[in-house]
Chains A and B, each alone.
Chain A
Amino acid sequence: MLQMPEIDQDKCNLCGLCVEVCRCSAIVLVNNVVMFVETEECHWCALCEAVCPTGALTCSFEIVSED
């Protein structure tokens, strides 16, 4: 399963800004619920996290070392 950003539905106020800002149409609003569509086109730009006014949407990073 492809990793996608996460959304806390309890915090989401359905403003739709994340849907509008997503460059790869990976975020959709279906029946008043914001959902992610799995796609390799999502390059983790984190714009959805940046525009979310309630902090509902998160693009977390795992930090690893090459050593």
Chain B
Amino acid sequence: MAIDSNFLSSLSYFSGLTAAELEVIKPSFFEKTVQRGEMIFLEGELADTLFFLVSGIVKLFKTSAQGKEQIISLARPREVLNDISIFDNGPNPMSAQAMSTVNLYCIKRDRLESTLRMHPQVSTRIIQVLAARTRQLIALVEDLSFKHVIGRVAKILLEHTSDGAGSGQRLTQQEMAAMAGTAREVVARSLKAMEERGLIRLERHRIVITDKDALQEMINQEV
């Protein structure tokens, strides 16, 4: 399948380029298909190719020394996967794995650099993309350092406990996130942490509170 100029123009990096300019940069790209489960790149490796997601879903994650996986984000089509390591010449800060069959547009670092020299307006777009990402990360830092989200999630669980007859209110992780003033990923992480501490049990479409007193204590400590 050939590189599609229309798709290139839909990427934030290249949205300001004319049709003629897109035709000029198009030969710098090549396509890659990755099957579900395959790794696209690994944390700690050096990168020489920038990847844009054309179709499919990619999991971006970090792995702790104990082998515990932490999902940073699920990338959707039109997102760039590894700009940090391409622009700072450092190792990949996280790994990327295909969650479905994935199509990528790829460009080698040297070709990208010559594109930036030829079309400086692309650099301006890249700065905007990186600034938007920095803003998201600052919000995440705020969540993780100041908000004590886990206590808020504990409070939500206790306030929305139903009788188990199936008639009570149901909540999605997204709704809990909106209530706690945080991101869905932070709620998922909080629930997992509570399960690891033995305070709740995550079942299929049910959250079972196993230690109500400990949850209450968590609220008193952290809210």
Q: Is B205's CB under 8 angstroms from A60's CB? A: yes
Given contacts A43-B204, A47-B74, A58-B172, contact A64 B162 (CB under 8 A): yes
Q: Is A60's CB under 8 angstroms from B99's CB? A: no
Asked if B174 is at the interface (CB within 8 A of a chain A CB), the reply is yes
Partner of A44, one of B76, B184, B205, B208: B205
Binding-face segment, B3-11, B109-117, B163-171: B163-171
Given contacts A20-B101, A51-B57, A58-B174, contact A63 B76 (CB under 8 A): no
Q: Is A66's CB under 8 angstroms from B76's CB? A: no
Q: Is B208's CB under 8 angstroms from A64's CB? A: yes
Q: Is B74's CB under 8 angstroms from A62's CB? A: no
The tally of residues in B whose CB lies under 8 Å from a CB in A reads 33
Question: How many A-B contacts at CB < 8 Å in the complex?
Answer: 88
Q: Is B206's CB under 8 angstroms from A67's CB? A: no
Q: Is B204's CB under 8 angstroms from A44's CB? A: yes
Interface residues of B (CB under 8 A from A): 56-57, 74, 76-77, 99-101, 157, 160-164, 166, 168, 170-175, 184, 188, 201, 204-210, 212
The tally of residues in A whose CB lies under 8 Å from a CB in B reads 24
Q: Is B208's CB under 8 angstroms from A21's CB? A: no
Residues of chain A in range 34-67 having any CB-CB distance to chain B below 8 Å? 42-44, 46-47, 49-51, 53, 55, 58-67
Interface residues of A (CB under 8 A from B): 3, 17, 20-21, 42-44, 46-47, 49-51, 53, 55, 58-67
Chain A contact surface mostly: mixed
B38: min CB distance to chain A, Å: 14
Given contacts A21-B57, A49-B174, contact A65 B209 (CB under 8 A): yes
Q: Contacts A46-B188, A59-B172, A65-B209 given; 12 further ones with Cβ under 8 A?
A: A20-B56, A20-B100, A46-B172, A47-B74, A49-B174, A60-B175, A61-B173, A62-B164, A62-B168, A62-B207, A64-B206, A66-B209
